[in-house]
Structures are given as C-alpha cells and as structure tokens.
Amino acid sequence: MIEVLGGELLVALVLAAFVTYLWRGLGVALSGKLNVKSAIFEWVACVAYALLAGLIARMIFLPSGPLAETALPDRVAAAALAFTLFFLTRKNLLIGVSSGFALLVLLTLGRGWAG
Amino acid sequence: MSSAGSPAKAALRGLRVGFGVPMCVLAASFLGFGALVRESGMALWQGLFSTASAWALPGQVALVELHAVGAPPLAIVVAVGLSNARLLPMVITLMPYLADQNRPRWQYYVAANWVAVTGWAAALRACPGMVAEERLPYFMGYSMVLWPASLAGTAIGFALAGAVPVAVSLGLVFLNPIYFMLVFAADVSSPPRVAALVLGAILGPLLFLVTPDWSLLLTGVIAGTVAFLALHRRR
C-alpha cells in the first residue's frame, strides 16, 4: 500500500507537513507569553523580517529550482524595474509585479534568440 | 478601531482584499511548483498534498528537488524544517494582532496552519486597527482565497508543464519574490525592522554561499539581532 502511494516520497511528504506545522503550532504556544511592547517581541519581529528578506534576496540572487535557469543580470534588472515602477506609481502592486515579470520574460527570451 | 459590522462581514472583507493581485501572484507562483512536480516525476496528488498541508513554497520546492536527486526522507525533512523555520517568528509576531480573549485557543492552533508570507503581511497591515472579534475571521477569509488559488495553481501548472514557453513559466515563478519584495518595501517602517530587512537581504545570499542549509536561520538570528540591538529604543 505504502509503495503504491509513493513509498519514501509519501513518508517525506507527511513528515514535511508535520515539521512545517510544528513551527506554526509552536509559534501559537509561545505567542501568548509575550507582550507586544516588550523588547523580546520586537527582537522576534526583527528576526522574522531578516529571515524573510534573506529568503527573498536568495530567490533573486541565488535561486534554487526553476529560477536557476534564468540569468542573474536579468533577475536583478527585472527586480530593479519592479521596485522603481512600484514607487513611481505610488505603490501600485499590479504595475510593480507585472513589469518585473515582463522584463524577466523578455530578457530570457532575448537570450534564447541570441544563443 | 474599525469594524466591518460582524465577524462574518470581516471574513468577507478578507475574501475581497485577497481576491485580486495577491491571489494572482500566489496562483502564478504555484503554477511553477505544479510544473516542477510533474518534471520531477511526482504525481499530481502528491503535489496537491504538499500545497494543501505545508503551504510554504520554498520548503515545497526543496522537497521536490531533493526527492528528484534521490535524497533519503530524513535529509528532505531536515532541509524542509530548516527552510520553514521562519514560520515560528512569523506566527509569534502575528498572533497578538489576531488575538481575541473570547475566542477558544484551539482556533488559533487551527488557523496557524494558514500563516504564510502573503496573508501574514496583509494581516499585520490590517488587523491592528480592527475590533478583536473580527481579526481572525478577516485573516481566515483572506487565506481562504489564497489557499484554493494555490491548489488550483499547482494543478494547472502540472497540467500545463511543457505547454507554456519556458521564459513565461520562469517569469511566473519570479512573481513570488518580486511581490514579497514590494510588499515589505511598502509596509515596513519601524527603523529596527527596516534595518533587519536590509541586513537580511545582504546576509541571506552571502551566508548561502557558505552554508546552504543553515544560511536562512543564521541570517535571521544575526541580521535580526544586529538590527534590534542597533536601533531598538526602549519605550
């Protein structure tokens, strides 16, 4: 039965779901004990933002997965354009993300034609 | 304190706010995941199970890639656990703004399963100004747009794998980091948190070159602590 469902992969999927929930559940358990105005709470928030920024920067500069097939200068240019247009349009998310998307697609296509 | 009128109306408001750019970005990101699932030889239901249960994209991508190269389950689980450690400080930071003393605590343990970056950022923006009883319904309403959209994205990406030009599917995957980058650049204003974002963005890729597995955790603790010590003011 286990083999039919994917054997080791099924084990990995279930355990991955479990460890992922563990972080979330632990967060709820710990959260009741912290005052929002306390220094520890602010430190935890700083750690959360640093983790997220690190993750996002890694996805742009050193991605794993499909994005690794794109070129670094193309990703940086697309991110820079998205950032610039976002603030020029008074924080219009649609324009920001779609311009980044469009530039990366065009640059990647361009490399395909050039190569 | 703003009020939508009732908890049910707050949930509807959450649905409406999620419906639009956030929903499209999430669906597009999971298109990329669905395609990756198929290219790695996994079944659709396995990809859907991953999206439904874990719903944390970087860990899901790590799982699929490690499985594709034949890594044992234990190695996969450790990598996923490390990559999802961010959820702990995220949940701790969000919970006070979802809190309602009249609500049974188990509901928060259930709701925590839907804490992911997009909904987290949206709730941190909207919930502090809401009456207590409407906060959790708003967050869940918002998440109940994004979560089905992620499942649909996974399925459609699986079905379309190979049918869409590679450049377009890569662009869709790129929407995710771009969206998060803009949301944080727009939302975060307190000096220590801005410093944490900037330091984290610099340290994240650098530490990844040194120690891929531990880089995120180290980035969070080092950049977060430095930013906090340098700029936090006692109130």
Give DSSP secondary structure letters for B63-78.
Answer: HHHHHHTT--HHHHHH
CB of B129 within 8 A of CB of B10? no
Instruction: Give the pLDDT confidence score for residue B119 in this predicted structure.
Output: 94
Q: Is A83 in Cβ contact with B185 (below 8 Å)?
A: yes
ipTM of the complex: 0.92
Look up residue B5 and give its DSSP letter: S
A1–chain B nearest CA distance, Å = 15
List the structure tokens of B118.
């997009």
Chain mean pLDDT for chain B: 93
**How deeply is A50 buried, as exposed, middle or buried, from its count of CB atoms within 10 A (0-12, 13-18, 19+)?**
buried
User: Quick one: which of B221, B214, B220, B218 has its CA closest to B79?
Assistant: B214
What pTM was computed for the model? 0.92
End-to-end CA gap in chain B: 23
User: Quick one: which of B147, B145, B175 has its CA closest to B25?
Assistant: B175
Kindly provide the b/e burial profile for residues B142-154, where b requires at least 16 CB atoms within 10 angstroms of the residue's own CB: bbbbbbebbbbbb
**How deeply is A22 buried, as exposed, middle or buried, from its count of CB atoms within 10 A (0-12, 13-18, 19+)?**
middle
Smallest Cβ distance to A46: which of B49, B180, B228? B228
- pLDDT 10s digits, B74-130: 999 999 999 999 999 999 999 999 999 999 999 999 999 999 999 999 999 999 999
User: Quick one: which of B118, B174, B88, B23 has its CA closest to A104?
Assistant: B174
- Residues in A closer than 8 angstroms to B176, CB to CB, are 59
- Residues in B closer than 8 angstroms to A42, CB to CB, are 192, 228, 232
Smallest Cβ distance to B193: which of A49, A63, A109? A49
A23–chain B nearest CA distance, Å = 5
Q: Is A39 in Cβ contact with B181 (below 8 Å)?
A: no
Q: CA nearest B89 in A: which residue?
A: A48
Residues in chain B: 235
Chain center to CA of B109: 17
- pLDDT 10s digits, B45-71: 999 999 999 999 989 999 999 998 889
Q: Is B170 in Cβ contact with A105 (below 8 Å)?
A: yes
- pLDDT 10s digits, B186-226: 989 899 999 999 999 999 999 999 998 899 999 999 999 99
Candidate from A12-21, A85-94, B167-176 with smallest mean pLDDT: B167-176
Residue B227's alpha-carbon distances to A43, A49, B27, in angstroms, are: 9, 10, 33
- Whose tokens are 């009020």? That residue is B3
